């Protein structure tokens, strides 16, 4: 099928939301600019989540100035594994996952050893704003490295798989799990080559995945099936996504959650402009579901109770 | 509701822009093409006479807002003479005075005239009723007979006057006409005779003068025209004094409607008046500007056309930037091409303007790839961000200097045409590209880099279209139309062309999509 008009017609039928529509009708309309720092600065997100009693990875240290990098090694002396990330990073850029040490050097999650000065340089780049939106000076967060749930061992190549749930006005409308591959270098980022696998909202069971522009059913590295996996703690995950609406007061938000084998779900970050690949992963468009919530909005029957919203989503938004 | 408001706003803005454009184009005749030429006529009246002792006073009737023409410039050349303009009712005269003139005198009036076909913008008041003169025999009988025979062949005052002129033109066949025409030698006198004959029948008539603008570089003379008052239509009907044809010829330039002699030199009936006309072609933009200035000085004073030439050149480029930006908007938001930064491609396109396209692209690719190599090496030295950027900038300047020197040696001059501006742009491009390279991988960086280059080349091609540059500079209000279009695209929420490709797999997925059921 190559006729662009037929493609467009078909995509409209399944309710695929394009980037223009996402921006014009959802991000611009439902996300107030002044609330953006709550999600763009991961430190603020973390503080808000802690205040609201939502689970987040424990914060070990914050580096704001160049000279604090030296002290950081001292602070991290007792830690075997941790994650360094820019507070204003986007799309997983600049995140450094350290899983061990060897003498003075740090071992990254992909097995490579990182000399101390390379580690320092990376953080210095972070502070200069190399990874932040718009390049403004940034600070670096050092936090707990998630010990991810072994259920995903067969379907991820190194790195941490995470679960993205899009919450519209507090209703979880669509979700996927992102699995790192050899191509993505252990990062759970779709445009770097990670797999997105759509999750059925009512059941928490994976349906089908997307890798690049290809629709797949097996993990390209491990050949294990990615269809029919049951996500543990599913109701809890949905509840977290629903409660994030009150947390940051953004109508259209993507919630990224990881599953820790001991601590359960932890919020990694929130995103005010979540990507559209989730539709590919689900094989479903977002638009019909978003319109359904907009109907509630027009009727004035939006619920203020997260549990009620989750119940509505579970009843209405199955991934076929 | 918000969308209607937006559409309305866009419509109003576009209408204002198009309206101003249309007015300037059609009414003020601003040229739509850069090379457009306009025909101009140089009209010269030369007064020649032998000065007599004592004060000499010369009065020459000159044009005043002639219908169908614009006088965009006029000059009075008369050495030592005092000059003043005497305005009359719909007429104008120049008066020259000199107390101690001696010998042969030559005075000039020159006007630059542009044909714009504008109608007369005044309504003539009805003239006083004509008074018949008193005549002796045999003239009285001859006049009555001629008028009677003309009356037979006419229906109204205009055709009456036309027939009269025609019978006066052929005195041979009719004794009465021959008698009246005895002392009439010139067209001028014939027109005045017709006027006095019409007065016998209480028809108001006047003699006016026009200058035919048909032959260039020609010595021409004023043509008298007879005008009779049409009491019903409340206007003057014009009849040629030569052949009685009704109507004012289009190529005729109305010199004056004054009933006084066109030239009066006090106490000097032998003064001569000669006319010369010459047609020239001039830059249409200059003419439009001059005409506008003649009409209303402020309109030009507050336009780009009055800026110093260097500033005008800057604006010629500056006004093209919105065009490039708009193209980029289309390519990014409707097509979906990815570029570095938002306006980087437009800036690169501007840089190409300085270097021309092909040398620009080659130079750009060379300097950016060399810069990238250096940048990767600097990365290994673990420099901080700002020092690294500075180092790259210094090296880019060096690279450009080297390219210039080498190309000069090889005899290519394009390498030399380097301005300050491209250096900054290239440095920024190198830095952005290397960050993308490290963070998102080579494929991503190259994709965005190529996207940037493609958009820049397209923007350059559009921005260097000469007629577009001319049109936007002469009609900057067209940018309002662009503004309105931008507002409309600002709410475009359809698919981008690249998205159709990106999500194509979804369209072929066998799973039948079912929208969630309502309720």
Q: Which residues in chain B are closer than 8 Å to A215, comparing Cβ atoms?
A: 505-506, 509
Nearest-5° Cα angle at B509, B505 to B515? 110
Residue of A20, A133, A227, A313 to mutate for B, most B C-beta atoms under 10 A: A20
Residue A50 pLDDT? 92
pLDDT in tens, chain B (519 residues): 567 888 899 999 999 999 988 888 887 777 777 667 777 888 888 888 888 877 888 889 988 888 888 888 888 888 888 888 888 888 888 888 888 777 888 888 988 888 877 777 667 777 877 777 778 778 888 888 888 888 888 788 888 888 888 888 877 777 777 777 777 778 888 888 888 888 888 888 888 888 888 877 777 888 888 888 887 778 888 888 888 888 888 888 888 888 888 888 887 778 888 888 888 777 777 777 777 776 666 666 677 777 777 777 788 888 888 999 999 999 888 888 888 877 888 888 888 877 778 878 887 888 888 888 887 787 778 777 778 778 887 887 887 788 778 777 776 665 455 555 677 777 778 877 877 776 667 787 888 888 888 999 999 999 888 888 888 888 888 999 999 999 888 888 888 888 888 887 777 655 544 444 443
Report the largest interatomic distance among the alpha carbons of chain A, rounded to a whole angstrom. 63
DSSP letters along B123-192, please?
Answer: -PPPPPPP------TTHHHHHHHHHHHHHHT-SSHHHHHHHHHHHHH--TT-HHHHHHTTT--SHHHHHH
Yes or no, beta carbons of B513 and A285 under 8 Å apart: yes
Structure confidence by residue, pLDDT tens digits, A41-79: 899 999 999 999 999 999 999 998 888 888 888 888 888
Backbone φ and ψ of B151, nearest 5°: -55, -40
Q: Does A320 touch chain B (CB under 8 A)?
A: yes
The CA distance from B77 to B54, in Å, is: 21
Task: Please state, for a pLDDT cut of 70, what percent of chain A lies above it.
Answer: 98
Residue A14 DSSP symbol: T
Q: Which residues in chain A are closer than 8 Å to B501, comparing Cβ atoms?
A: 213
Question: pLDDT band at A91, cuts 50/70/90?
Answer: low
Residue B267 pLDDT? 77
Which CATH architecture fits B39-117+250-303? Answer: Sandwich (2.60)
Across residues A67-92, what is the average pLDDT?
85
Yes or no, beta carbons of B496 and A20 under 8 Å apart: yes
**Do B67 and B119 contact (CB within 8 A), yes or no?**
yes
Yes or no, beta carbons of B502 and A213 under 8 Å apart: yes
Chain A CA closest to residue B489: A20
Shortest distance between the Cα of B340 and any Cα of chain A, in A, equals: 12
Shortest distance between the Cα of B287 and any Cα of chain A, in A, equals: 47
Structure confidence by residue, pLDDT tens digits, A140-189: 999 998 887 888 877 877 777 889 999 999 999 999 999 888 887 767 77
Residue A173 pLDDT? 94
Residue B299 pLDDT? 64
Across residues A236-248, what is the average pLDDT?
92
B461 token code pair: 């091609």
The CA distance from A108 to B264, in Å, is: 107
Residue A254 pLDDT? 93
Question: pLDDT band at A238, cuts 50/70/90?
Answer: very high
Across residues A113-129, what is the average pLDDT?
86
Q: Does A86 touch chain B (CB under 8 A)?
A: no
Yes or no, beta carbons of A318 and B516 under 8 Å apart: yes
Q: Which of B439, B492, B502 sits opposite A93 (nearest CB)?
A: B439
Residue A174 pLDDT? 94
Residue B515 pLDDT? 45
Across residues A192-220, what is the average pLDDT?
87
Q: Does A18 touch chain B (CB under 8 A)?
A: yes
Helix (H/G/I), strand (E/B), else coil: B229: strand
**Does the complex come out with an ipTM higher than 0.90?**
no
Residue B516 pLDDT? 44
Chain B CA closest to residue A312: B519
Domains of chain A: 17-42+149-316 (3.30.470.20), 59-144 (3.30.1490)
Whether A292 has a pLDDT exceeding 70, the answer reads yes
Residue A33 pLDDT? 87
The CA distance from B171 to B174, in Å, is: 6
From B320, B406, B295, B394, select the one nearest B359 (Cα to Cα): B406
Q: Which residues in chain A are closer than 8 Å to B503, comparing Cβ atoms?
A: 7, 11, 16, 279-280
Domain ranges of chain B: 39-117+250-303, 314-476
């Amino acid at each position: 099928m190559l006729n662009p008009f037929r493609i467009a017609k078909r995509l409209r039928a399944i309710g695929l939301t394009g980037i223009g529509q996402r921006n014009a009708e959802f991000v611009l309309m439902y996300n107030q600019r002044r609330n953006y720092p709550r999600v763009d600065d991961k430190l603020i997100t973390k503080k808000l989540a802690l205040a609201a009693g939502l689970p987040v990875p424990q914060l070990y240290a914050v580096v704001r100035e160049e000279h604090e990098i030296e002290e950081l090694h001292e602070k991290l002396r007792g830690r075997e594994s941790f994650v360094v990330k820019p507070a204003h990073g986007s799309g997983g850029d600049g995140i450094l996952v350290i899983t061990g040490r060897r003498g003075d050097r740090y071992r990254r999650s992909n097995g490579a050893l990182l000399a101390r000065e390379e580690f320092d340089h990376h953080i210095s780049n972070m502070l200069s704003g190399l990874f932040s939106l718009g390049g403004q000076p940034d600070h670096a967060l050092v936090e707990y490295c998630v010990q991810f749930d072994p259920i995903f061992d067969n379907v991820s190549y190194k790195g941490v798989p995470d679960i993205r749930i899009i919450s519209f006005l507090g209703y979880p409308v669509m979700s996927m799990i992102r699995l790192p591959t050899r191509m993505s270098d252990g990062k759970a980022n779709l445009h770097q080559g990670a797999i997105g696998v759509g999750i059925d909202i009512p059941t928490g069971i994976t349906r089908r995945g997307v890798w690049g522009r290809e629709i797949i059913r097996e993990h390209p590295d491990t050949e294990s099936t990615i269809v029919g996996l049951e996500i543990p703690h599913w109701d809890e995950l949905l509840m977290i996504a629903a409660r994030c609406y009150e947390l940051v007061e953004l109508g259209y938000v993507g919630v990224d959650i990881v599953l820790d084998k001991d601590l359960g779900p932890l919020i990694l970050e929130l995103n005010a402009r979540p990507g559209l690949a989730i539709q590919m992963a689900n094989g479903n468009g977002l638009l019909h579901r978003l319109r359904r919530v907009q109907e509630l909005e027009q009727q004035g029957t939006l619920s203020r109770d997260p549990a009620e919203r989750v119940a509505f989503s579970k009843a209405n938004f199955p991934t076929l | 509701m918000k969308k209607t408001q937006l559409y309305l706003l866009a419509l109003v803005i576009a209408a204002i822009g198009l309206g101003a454009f249309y007015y300037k184009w059609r009414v003020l005749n601003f040229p739509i093409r850069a090379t457009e030429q306009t025909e101009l006529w140089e009209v010269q009246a030369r007064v020649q006479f032998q000065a007599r002792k004592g004060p000499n006073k010369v009065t020459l009737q000159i044009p005043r807002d002639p219908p169908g023409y614009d006088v965009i410039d006029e000059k009075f050349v008369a050495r030592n003479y005092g000059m003043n303009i005497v305005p009359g009712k719909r007429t104008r005269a120049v008066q020259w005075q000199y107390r101690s003139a001696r010998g042969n005198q030559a005075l000039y009036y020159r006007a630059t005239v542009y044909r714009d076909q504008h109608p007369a913008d005044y309504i003539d008041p009805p003239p006083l009723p004509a008074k018949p003169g008193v005549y002796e025999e045999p003239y009285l009988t001859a006049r009555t007979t001629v008028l009677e025979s003309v009356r037979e062949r006419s229906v109204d005052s205009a055709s009456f006057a036309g027939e009269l002129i025609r019978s006066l033109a052929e005195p041979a066949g009719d004794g009465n006409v021959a008698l009246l025409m005895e002392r009439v030698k010139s067209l001028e006198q014939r027109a005045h005779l017709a006027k006095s004959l019409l007065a016998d029948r209480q028809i108001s008539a006047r003699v006016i003068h026009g200058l035919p603008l048909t032959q260039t570089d020609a010595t021409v003379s004023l043509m008298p025209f007879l005008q009779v008052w049409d009491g019903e239509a409340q206007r003057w009907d014009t009849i040629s004094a030569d052949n009685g044809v009704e109507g004012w010829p289009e190529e005729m330039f109305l010199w004056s409607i004054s009933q006084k002699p066109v030239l009066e030199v006090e106490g000097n009936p032998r003064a001569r008046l000669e006319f010369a006309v010459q047609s020239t072609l001039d830059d249409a933009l200059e003419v439009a500007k001059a005409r506008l200035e003649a009409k209303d000085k402020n309109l030009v004073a507050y336009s780009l056309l009055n800026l110093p030439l260097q500033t005008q050149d800057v604006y010629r480029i500056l006004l093209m930037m919105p065009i490039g930006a708009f193209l980029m908007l289309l390519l990014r938001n409707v097509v979906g091409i990815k570029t570095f930064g938002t306006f980087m491609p437009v800036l690169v396109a501007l840089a190409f303007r300085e270097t021309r396209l092909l040398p620009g692209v080659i130079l750009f690719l060379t300097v950016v790839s060399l810069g990238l190599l250096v940048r990767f090496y600097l990365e290994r030295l673990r420099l901080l961000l700002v020092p690294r950027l500075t180092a790259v900038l210094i090296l880019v300047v060096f690279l450009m200097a080297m390219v210039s020197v080498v190309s000069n040696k090889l005899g290519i001059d394009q390498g030399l045409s380097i301005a300050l501006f491209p250096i900054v742009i290239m440095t920024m491009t190198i830095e952005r590209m290397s960050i993308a390279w490290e963070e998102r991988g080579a494929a991503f960086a190259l994709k965005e880099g190529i996207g940037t280059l493609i958009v820049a080349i397209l923007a350059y091609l559009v921005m260097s279209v000469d007629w577009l540059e001319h049109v936007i500079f002469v009609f900057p209000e067209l940018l309002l139309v662009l503004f309105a279009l931008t507002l409309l695209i600002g709410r475009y929420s359809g698919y981008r062309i690249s998205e159709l490709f990106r999500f194509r797999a979804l369209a072929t997925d066998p799973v039948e999509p079912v929208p969630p059921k309502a309720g």
